Amino acid sequence: MTNTAALRQQLYQDMSPLNLTPLWEVLHALVPPQPSSPCVPALWKYEQIKPFLKRAGEAITAEEAVRRVLILENPALRGQSAVTQSLYAGLQLILPGEVAPSHRHTQSALRFIVEGTGAYTAVDGERSTMHPGDFIITPSWTWHDHGNESTEPVVWLDGLDIPMIRFFDAGFAQNDIAKSQTVARAEGSSFARYGHNMAPVRGDAPFGATSPIFSYPYERSREALYQLERDAAMDPWDGVKLRYINPATGGSPMPTMATFMQRLPARFDGKSCRQTDGAVYSVVEGAGTAYIDGPAGSVRFDFEARDHFVVPSWHALRLASIAGCVLFSYSDRPVHQALGIHQEERIP
């Protein structure tokens, strides 16, 4: 070792007991020239996951589990219950007759219905019946329980901001005394109040920064996408892509998560784009291919309905579809935007 190197090593060693460490050894990694996410792209094929959901259904009841969920963990973040550094994803199963008991937490949740019809989620005394493709929200700190009074198993994607809230050490949670909430309002009340480009004259933001609409039915979003496919110019990167909004603000439905639905028409061959917000995709209809390029190389995911995949921050995504498809996705974009750090690069 040279004198200088020895001098430095001695310095680091001597100050370490005082919890001091030299910035100059880590500066390049702390302030990288561009995002270098530890996450990797990953694909979960539904046909491979389904047998494990079924076995989970045999192994534990929804009530005992509280939430019977198989977490989609980023392969590079195993053990952290995270699909990206800031987001959580899981597939929740509820069998006929089951109840997932009422609780509340400061983490915001979205449900995206993957398979089965007729389960419900109850938020703040109002139930929303689930149909495949519906997007349902649970605002931060609202009581919520899930149940299934139908005759078929229902599976949905849970998207939560759990890792983000953990990062801020800002999580609170409570269990309800009652297993299921008393129904206080008719189903569809929130949609009737806020879902028709109208709003109550008083009391506009009952859930603060979160949308007052609990359920965004697929019937509506699908109709919009298919009409735009027929009548509007296609975006070369996204096909036809719409973002869900909080009708009271025009912003994202939840303060921490943005949600999107997009239609790739048959024979769509998209251009490549990268964004600072990593995103989770749920395939609603059809099939296609995602080409994802990142620092660790390129991957190709062939997806079909009910598959899920994650595109980490600043990984270029290119989408293509021969048959046509519909994709739901969510990301932490509203937080990037609130902080003024969101970036997008559309590669020509």
What does the binding site for ligand GTQ look like in residue numbers (CB under 6 A)? Answer: 67, 69, 90, 92, 105, 109, 144, 158, 160
CA distance 305 to 39: 24
Q: Which is nearer to ligand GTQ, 161 or 285 (CB)?
A: 161
Residue nearer to ligand GTQ on the CB measure, 92 or 275: 92
Are residues 68 and 62 in contact, defined by beta-carbon separation less than 8 angstroms?
A: yes
Q: Which residue has the tokens 């979960």?
A: 44
Q: How far, in Å, CA of 279 to CA of 161, rounded?
A: 12
Q: Which is nearer to ligand GTQ, 158 or 307 (CB)?
A: 158
Q: Minimal distance in Å, beta carbon 169 to ligand GTQ?
A: 17
Helix (H, G, I), strand (E, B) or coil at 307: coil
When the beta carbons of 90 and 253 are compared against ligand GTQ, the nearer one is 90
Instruction: Kindly state the smallest distance separating residue 16's Cβ from ligand GTQ, in Å.
Output: 38
Task: Rounding to the nearest 10 degrees, give the CA dihedral for residues 203, 109, 279, 303.
Answer: -120
CA atoms within 13 A on the CB side of 130: 32
Closer CB to ligand GTQ, 112 or 301, in the complex: 112
Given the complex with ligand GTQ, which of 100 and 284 has the nearer CB atom?
A: 100
Query: What burial class does residue 188 get, using C-beta atoms within 10 Å of its C-beta: 0-12 exposed, 13-18 middle, 19+ buried?
Result: middle
- DSSP-derived secondary structure letter, 19: T
Min dist CB 69 to ligand GTQ, Å, is 4
- Nearest approach, Cβ of residue 129 and ligand GTQ (Å): 16
CA-to-CA dists, residue 118 to 97, 128, 139, angstroms: 11, 9, 21
- Shortest spacing between CB 277 and ligand GTQ, in angstroms: 20
Q: Please check whether residue 292 is in contact with residue 41, taking contact to mean a CB–CB distance below 8 angstroms.
A: yes
Q: Is 330 exposed, middle or buried (0-12, 13-18, 19+ CB in 10 A)?
A: buried
Q: Which is nearer to ligand GTQ, 67 or 342 (CB)?
A: 67
Tokens representing 259 are 């949600």
Min separation Cβ 95 and ligand GTQ, Å: 15
CB 245, CB 253: distance < 8 Å: yes
DSSP state, 239?
Answer: B
Amino acid letter, 49 = I
**Nearest distance from C-beta of residue 195 to ligand GTQ, angstroms:** 23
Number of residue whose CB is nearest ligand GTQ: 158
Q: Decide: 261 and 328 in contact? Cβ < 8 Å.
A: yes
Closest distance of CB 92 from ligand GTQ, Å: 6
Supply 21's token pair. 């460490």
Of the pair 121, 276, the CB lying nearest ligand GTQ is at 121
Based on CB atoms, which residue is closest to ligand GTQ, 134 or 158?
Answer: 158
Cα(146)–Cα(99) distance, integer angstroms: 6
Give yes or no for a contact between 262 and 242, defined as CB atoms under 8 angstroms apart. Answer: yes
Kindly state the smallest distance separating residue 40's Cβ from ligand GTQ, in Å: 22
291: Cβ contacts below 8 Å, ≥ 6 apart: 272, 298, 299, 300, 317, 318, 319, 320
